[in-house]
């Protein structure tokens, strides 16, 4: 397949971050042919390997948020990254933080840190499809990102931030999300933080 043909197919299928299997299906090739083509494209700098079986196109690179959603599933953007995105904390965040129901993991991808924190399955909610940088990604609502963050602060796994812009938070909704964790004292803790 010619490079221009691949770029056209990638664009028409919105193929920016993908697995080898997705690449194989879109290219309509065998597994072996797809692996050989990916290897050739990687050597030429047309695609870059993100981790294990995940790749990205270099001519139209995906956002870090999309990479985060793709390389460790299920997951959604949360914690400091979502809080910064929603304007709840003033800090710019360079690491991408996400919630998952799988084991806690950390990856260095393309020189950026991606952290995934395991949360309870019952609390794996409160995220919505969000358009950003031309990608549709899964991101926590502001209240859920705050609840996720404060849950880890309550357990002593994150340093509490005292610079929350609570004007961007529906306090009742944040308290409601806190109940999903079923952790003794956590709902009172979050009520104290948000002033509910």
Q: Which residues contact 154 (CB under 8 A, 6 or more apart)?
A: 183, 185, 186, 189, 190
pLDDT, residue 48, reads: 95
Q: Are residues 160 and 144 in the same domain?
A: yes
Distance CA 42, CA 49 (A): 7
Low-confidence spans in the chain with pLDDT less than 70: 1
pLDDT, residue 161, reads: 80
CATH assignment at residue 53: 1.10.10.10
Range of the domain at 22: 3-57
pLDDT, residue 1, reads: 64
pLDDT, residue 15, reads: 86
Q: What's the domain count of the chain? A: 2
Residue ending a domain, among 12, 28, 57, is 57
Report which of 130, 137, 195 is spatially closest to residue 166, judged by C-alpha positions. 195
pLDDT, residue 8, reads: 86
Q: Do the beta carbons of residue 74 and residue 124 sit within 8 Å?
A: yes
């Amino acid at each position: 397949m010619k490079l221009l043909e691949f770029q056209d197919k990638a664009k028409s299928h919105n193929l920016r971050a993908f697995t080898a299997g997705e690449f194989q299906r879109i290219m309509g090739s065998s597994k072996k042919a797809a692996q050989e083509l990916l290897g050739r494209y990687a050597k030429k700098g047309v695609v870059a390997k993100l981790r294990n079986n995940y790749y990205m196109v270099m001519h139209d690179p995906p956002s870090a948020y999309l990479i985060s959603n793709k390389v460790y599933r299920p997951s959604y953007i949360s914690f400091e990254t979502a809080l910064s995105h929603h304007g709840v904390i003033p800090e710019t965040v360079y690491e991408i933080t996400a919630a998952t129901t799988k084991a806690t993991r950390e990856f260095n991808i393309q020189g950026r840190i991606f952290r995934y924190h395991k949360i309870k399955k019952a609390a794996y909610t409160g995220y919505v499809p969000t358009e950003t940088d031309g990608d549709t990604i899964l991101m926590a609502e502001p209240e859920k990102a705050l609840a996720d963050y404060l849950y880890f602060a309550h357990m002593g796994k994150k340093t509490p931030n005292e610079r929350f812009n609570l004007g961007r938070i529906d306090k009742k909704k944040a308290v409601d999300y806190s109940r999903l964790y079923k952790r003794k004292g956590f709902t009172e803790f979050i009520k104290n933080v948000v002033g509910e």
